[in-house]
Each structure stands twice: as C-alpha cells, then as structure tokens.
C-alpha cells in the first residue's frame, strides 16, 4: 500500500535557524503516529513545517501524491491536512455551530457527526467561542479540523493544561477518530503512555532529529528508552 504521507530528509526552521535536521518518516493510510520528545526538540516545528509555517531548508513532503514542499498553507489544507494547533485557533466571536459550519467541506465528518463525537458541543452549540471552557475549546478545535474532511490530522498537545476528566474525554474521542474511523494522524503529546495506548507507531525527536522509530506498544514497554529521551515522568 502506498504511503499517505512521506517526509524525506526534511530540514526546516525559523529564519536562518535550522530546527529540524534531515527528518524522514512515512505514514500509511489509517495509521496514527505518536510524536514524542522533551520540550524544545522540534515536535511543534515539525507540525508547523507540514502545515507550511516555517522556513524550508531542505527535503520534501508528499501527501497522497501531492508535493507539499513549497505549497502555501491554505493549499495544504485543501490538499488534505487538518491541523489542531496548541492555540486552538477557534473564532471566539462565533457560536460553536458557526465555528464548525464556517469551515466545513463535504465528507463523512459533518456537523451531526461532530455533535455525536462531542456531545458537549451540541449542548453549547449556541454559545460563543469565548464562553467555552478550555476543554470545550479544544473539542471545538478538533471538530473544526475534522469537518474539513482531511486525509491526515495533526494534533499539537491536545490535552495540555486540561483537567483529568476532560483529558479522558478527549482521549476517548481521539481513540475513536484514529481507531474506529481509521483517520491517519500525527499526535504530539507530553503524556507518552496515554497516547502510545491509542497509536500504532511512535517517533521520538531529539535535537531536531529522529532518535527512535518503532511500534507504540513496543515503546510503551521500553522503560529505558522512555526514561532516556522523555524523562522519568514518561514511565
């Protein structure tokens, strides 16, 4: 089966600074990848590079046969990238329902599907974005990315700063998205064990380069590697 996303010798950064160094990876259709590493090693930069927000220094990005390497960010969205940034990126002056319908494109991920995935959003559908809790804003950010009906979903720290009960709710939704619905995804997450449990493959970045690549289950059981690259909290 041809790879859905192929990254070859990708180097990128901000201005003259190179943050990513010759990163190569491939994701098959329906595959979810945990992107792990300590703070500042390049995880968010990799997602930003895939969406077109960094300076390209070398290498290529191919999504389902389309060369994204020099493509503008808005065209990358059209090509099939759904992005959930750390900042969430919702319209605070629009209602929940307006936030979702404003960006929706034809496909199986509809407004009704979002309300089924996130019942809280249906309950708050008439509330403005600035009236939502942090967890509800994150749910809305994921919903906005999904109704684009992307080929691959990029999630940057989706559970950061949220209460444990909301984290459980979000992880259950992400599990459904990637496991039950077969959405390809790259998920950046600080809580390694939580995200390894719902992904297929794992990649650890260190100093802007890939330090580990393998099956999520194998990494979850490899305490030495988790401790070395992610710290004691990972185990």
Domains of the chain, with CATH numbers?
A: 5-80+150-234 (3.40.50.300), 86-149 (no CATH)
Query: Vertex 206, ends 202 and 212: CA angle to 5°?
Result: 35
pLDDT at residue 43, rounded to an integer: 97
Question: 52-93, pLDDT tens digit by residue?
Answer: 999 999 999 999 999 999 999 999 999 999 999 999 889 999
Question: 182-211, pLDDT tens digit by residue?
Answer: 999 999 998 899 999 999 999 999 999 999
Say what the pTM is. Answer: 0.94
pLDDT at 213 over 70: yes
Which pLDDT band, with edges at 50, 70 and 90, does 234 fall under? Answer: very low
Question: 125-162, pLDDT tens digit by residue?
Answer: 999 999 999 999 999 999 999 999 999 999 999 999 99
CA dihedral 7, 11, 14, 18 (to 10 degrees): 150
pLDDT at residue 11, rounded to an integer: 98
Mean pLDDT of the chain: 95
Segment 88-113 mean pLDDT: 96
Answer for the pair 173, 181: CB distance below 8 angstroms, yes or no: no
Contacts of 11 (CB under 8 A, 6+ apart): 18, 20, 21, 22, 23, 56, 57, 58, 59
pLDDT at residue 191, rounded to an integer: 87
Which pLDDT band, with edges at 50, 70 and 90, does 98 fall under? Answer: very high
Q: In which order are the strands placed within the sheet that holds 66-67?
A: 17-27, 5-14, 55-63, 66-67
């Amino acid at each position: 089966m041809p790879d859905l996303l192929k990254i070859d010798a990708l180097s990128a950064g901000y201005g003259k600074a190179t943050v990513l160094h010759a990163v190569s990876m491939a994701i098959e259709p329906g595959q979810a990848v945990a992107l792990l590493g300590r703070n500042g090693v390049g995880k968010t930069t990799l997602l930003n590079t895939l969406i077109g927000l960094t300076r390209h220094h070398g290498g290529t990005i191919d999504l389902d046969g389309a060369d994204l390497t020099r493509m503008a960010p808005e065209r990358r969205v059209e090509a099939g990238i759904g992005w959930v940034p750390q900042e969430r990126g919702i319209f605070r002056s629009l209602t929940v329902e307006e936030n979702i319908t404003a960006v929706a494109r034809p496909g199986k991920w509809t407004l009704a599907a979002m309300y089924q995935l996130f019942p809280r959003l249906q309950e708050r559908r008439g509330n403005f974005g600035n009236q939502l809790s942090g967890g509800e804003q994150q749910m809305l950010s994921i919903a906005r990315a999904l109704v684009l009906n992307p080929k691959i979903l990029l999630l940057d720290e989706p559970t950061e700063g949220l209460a444990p009960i909301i984290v459980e709710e979000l992880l259950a939704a992400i599990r459904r998205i990637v496991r039950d619905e077969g959405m390809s995804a790259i998920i950046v997450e600080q809580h390694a064990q939580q995200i390894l449990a719902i992904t297929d493959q794992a990649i650890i970045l260190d100093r802007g380069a890939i330090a580990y690549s393998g099956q999520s289950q194998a990494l979850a059981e490899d305490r030495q590697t988790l401790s070395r690259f992610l710290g004691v909290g990972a185990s």
